Amino acid sequence: MSDESLLVRDLGEHGLLEKLQRFCPQDIIGDDGAILATTPNKSLVVTTDVLVDGVHFSDRTTTAFDVGWRATAANLSDLAAMGATPLGITVGLSLPGKKLVSWVEKLYQGISACLRDYQTPLVGGDICRSAVTSIAITALGEVIPQQAIRRSQARLGDAIVITGLHGLSRGGLELLQNPGKGDNLEPVERDRMIQAHQRPKPRLDLLPYLAKISQEIAIAGMDSSDGLADAIRQICRYSGVGAVIDRGPAIFPGLIKLAGFSKAREWMLYGGEDFELVLCLPQNYALNLVRDLGGDAAIIGKITEVPEIKLVDSNKLVTELDIDREFRHF
């Protein structure tokens, strides 16, 4: 570890690059680009995300390690959402000269820790000076083209399956921003929400299940990074269909204890950054998938013809999904 007071501008671009190269496989260092082997029958999948200090992360709620982890997880989640196996990521980093070198090293440690969990290499990058810290990650993966999961493939009658629980990341953020809140939570509930916010897990563990299904039928889907409601809305929009959500998705009990039922339900639908998958597939495949995944997935509704999205509450009150609520980054 470097001297804790060393600044980026003390090292310079070349010095910092040399320090960061140890996070890359040694055989790809030195050239203008990295060379990666691919699988002959697969197509390349590419996805890019930009994260900006003060917009997507802040030192107040997120350590440098966690910024790296989350940025990496978000991009690997985009690959999982397409049914693609990761090949590698690149990191383009903009930094003020007065940033601590130790911050940058911790960022890369977080990136590397997440990549290690999913056997994915860091295959390239660039660093440069800027008044604002920002991180642009491009993730590369591969998928048999006929088996790719796409938003546009939902069909009338498909069951809507969601993995995991939603709203936990938003609950974790609330706890981090307001340390006094949530006295009534069990430590395990608190930890789980904070963990969901700081160290989300891309659902690459689902790939073997999805690959098996998509040999037989097309799966529609995406991840819920911008919220569960947004994912359903995007799938319906690109597939030209509607949806009825007729079983309220399960709400994590700790979330209700933290925020009350009404707010917990709002965070569950609109909170975002849960990085779970929202999938549409024929009823029998959906039932098998949910069974195979144990308690980790649920059918929450089905695809309908009329292009509108209805939430049917347990007391049969029908409401329209509030489709104007979404992330606004400007």
Residues 4 to 63 in contact with a copy of itself, rule: CB under 8 A: 8-9, 11-14, 16, 30-38, 40, 42-52, 54-56
Among 2, 18, 58, 129, binds a copy of itself (CB under 8 A): 129
Alpha-carbon gap, residue 5 to 235, rounded angstroms: 48
Q: Comparing C-alpha atoms, which of 110, 109, 254 is closest to residue 171?
A: 254
How far does the chain reach from its first CA to its final CA, in angstroms? 37
Residue type, 105: E
The position carrying tokens 């995007």 is: 234
12 vs 253 by CB, closer to a copy of itself = 12
Tokens of 184: 């009534």
x/- track of binding to a copy of itself for residues 176-195 (CB under 8 A): --------------------
d(CA 70, CA 202): 9
Which CB atom, from 125 or from 167, has the smaller least distance to a copy of itself?
125
User: How many residues bind to a copy of itself according to rule CB under 8 A?
Assistant: 77
Minimal distance in Å, beta carbon 62 to a copy of itself?
16
Q: How far is the CB of 235 from a copy of itself (least distance, A)?
A: 10
Choose which of 70, 151, 166, 201 interacts with a copy of itself (CB under 8 A).
151
Q: Compute the least distance from the CB of residue 203 to a copy of itself, in Å.
A: 12
User: Roughly what angle, to the nearest 10 degrees, separates helices 64-82 and 101-117?
Assistant: 30
CB closer to a copy of itself out of 30 and 187 = 30
Q: How far is it, in rounded angstroms, from Cα 276 to Cα 296? A: 10
**Distance of alpha carbon 74 from alpha carbon 223, whole angstroms:** 9
Supply φ then ψ for residue 176, to 5 degrees: -70, -35
Residues 220-239 binding a copy of itself (CB under 8 A) are 222-223, 234, 238
Is 82 or 175 the residue whose CB approaches a copy of itself more closely?
82
Nearer to a copy of itself by Cβ, of 83 and 301: the residue is 83
Q: Is 87 in the site for a copy of itself (CB under 8 A)?
A: yes
Token pair listed for 168? 């936990």
What residues numbered 89-108 form the site for a copy of itself, per CB under 8 A? 90-95, 97
Of 5, 26, 60, 128, the one binding a copy of itself (CB under 8 A) is: 128
Distance CA 266, CA 109 (A): 34
Min dist CB 253 to a copy of itself, Å, is 30
Q: Is 152 in the site for a copy of itself (CB under 8 A)?
A: yes
Q: Helix, strand or coil for residue 265?
A: helix
The 8-class DSSP code of residue 323 comes to T
Determine, following the binding rule CB under 8 A, whether residue 85 of this chain makes contact with a copy of itself.
no
How far is it, in rounded angstroms, from Cα 197 to Cα 121? 23
Q: Is 131 in the site for a copy of itself (CB under 8 A)?
A: yes
Contact segment (CB under 8 A) with a copy of itself among 125-133, 253-261, 287-295, 314-322 equals: 125-133
260-319 residues in contact with a copy of itself (CB under 8 A) are none
For a copy of itself, give the closer residue by CB, 109 or 130: 130
**In contact, 276 and 293? CB cutoff 8 Å:** no
Cβ neighbors of 191 (< 8 A, separation 6 or more) are: none
- Residue 308: CB partners within 8 Å, gap ≥ 6? 242, 320
Q: Which of these ranges, 112-120, 149-157, 207-215, 296-304, lies near a copy of itself under the rule CB under 8 A?
A: 149-157
Q: What are phi and psi of 158, to 5 degrees?
A: -55, 145
Residue (254 or 272) nearer to a copy of itself, CB = 272
